[in-house]
Amino acid sequence: MPITLQDVAQKAGVSIKTVSRVVNEEKNVAEETRHQVLQTIQELGYVPHVQAQRLASGKTRSIVLHFPLSDPGLFSNLIGMDFITGVALAAAKEDYYFSLMTGSLTSGGLIKLCRGAQADGLILMQITVQDWRVEFLRENKFPFVMHGRCANNDGLSFIDLDFEHAMMEAYAHLTSLGHQHIGFLTYPEEWRVKGLGPAVHTLQGFRAAVKKFNVTSPYRECQQTVERAYWATRSLLKENPRITAMVTVHNTQAVGAITALQELNRKVPEDCSIVGVLVGNEGELIIPPLTSIEYSSHEIGHQVAEMLIRKIKGTSPGPEQILVRPELKLRRSTAPAPR
């Protein structure tokens, strides 16, 4: 016969309700009692019935990552498996299920998600500076955190990349090598028009860097695909032949830029240097290996999931706001500006 809650309660000398509170990780249990119950559970080999546990607690023990995506073909370009794995591992560690939503959500869909016991909390991605999902969830007091940030983040929890710092690092490195004419491939125009954080913050950082280092830096807004970056690079170089360096915001853009440069008989890095901004360590697989402003997407995924679970459990100290500063990784795609 399987061990029951009653068996644990009798051996531990506590009520069934107390055992249930310990199993469901509720806070209102004395630490000594909690330790006693957990020790008894281990001794008896008690395994909680997950479905019964959910019904009793009113919790699903599941979290949802919402990544609205208009073009499914761009999924792998926009969100890496390292990030997904980080979220999934953090959820599993706390015994939470994790699911991914990539479609657009209506307010009705969010109501069903919040009130239909489909999840205990949400991780929002592709945050816009004025994001209706954020206001809706805040008004409905449903637990959520953001990978990104809004214009007004008062009382909100998020983890985001410091795009402004990343752009400063890229331009500081290139100007230290003597480059004064630098082409830039940034996020697509529709991202900026929608107010998506990466596009908005990156352009702000770009303009600040251009002003600080007093360089000439024409730019193009383009999709994060090899083909679009290829044509954008050719356009930039045709109109600005004095360009000796390029900055891109994605690995695929870097590959497109390098391909265009090769076809124009411009060697990387001898004739034109390239820096990839806000990329993972995949940059080392590009030929030549890409000098990058890097971050760990796996670690960010892990941290944002932990942040949400703390909020669900009520153990977070309050709003948590983390800006991750990517670091410069020198490889072989940058060199002194040609004379």
Residues 188, 323, 319, CA angle at the centre, nearest 5°?
115
Residues 288, 289, 294, CA angle at the centre, nearest 5°?
145
Quick one: pLDDT at residue 259?
A: 96
Q: Are 303 and 155 part of one and the same domain?
A: yes
**Residues of the chain falling short of pLDDT 50:** 51, 55, 73
**Residues contacting 253, CB < 8 A, separation 6+:** 185, 222, 224, 226, 228, 229, 232, 276
CATH assignment at residue 190: 3.40.50.2300
Q: Which two tokens stand for residue 292?
A: 């990058």
Q: Are 84 and 198 part of one and the same domain?
A: no
Owning domain of residue 137: 62-159+297-324
| Strand pairing category for 245-248 and 321-324 | unpaired
Number of independent structural domains in the chain: 3
Quick one: pLDDT at residue 55?
A: 46
Q: Are 289 and 170 part of one and the same domain?
A: yes
Q: Are 68 and 118 part of one and the same domain?
A: yes
pTM of the model: 0.80
Q: Are 201 and 285 part of one and the same domain?
A: yes
Closest C-alpha among 40, 3, 10, 5 to residue 21: 5
Please state the φ and ψ torsions of residue 50, each to the nearest 5 degrees: -60, -45
**In a domain? residue 302:** yes
pLDDT in tens, 245-303: 999 998 899 999 999 999 999 999 999 999 999 766 777 878 899 999 999 889 999 99
Quick one: pLDDT at residue 30?
A: 87
**In a domain? residue 83:** yes
- Structural contact between residues 3 and 44, judged by C-beta atoms closer than 8 angstroms: yes
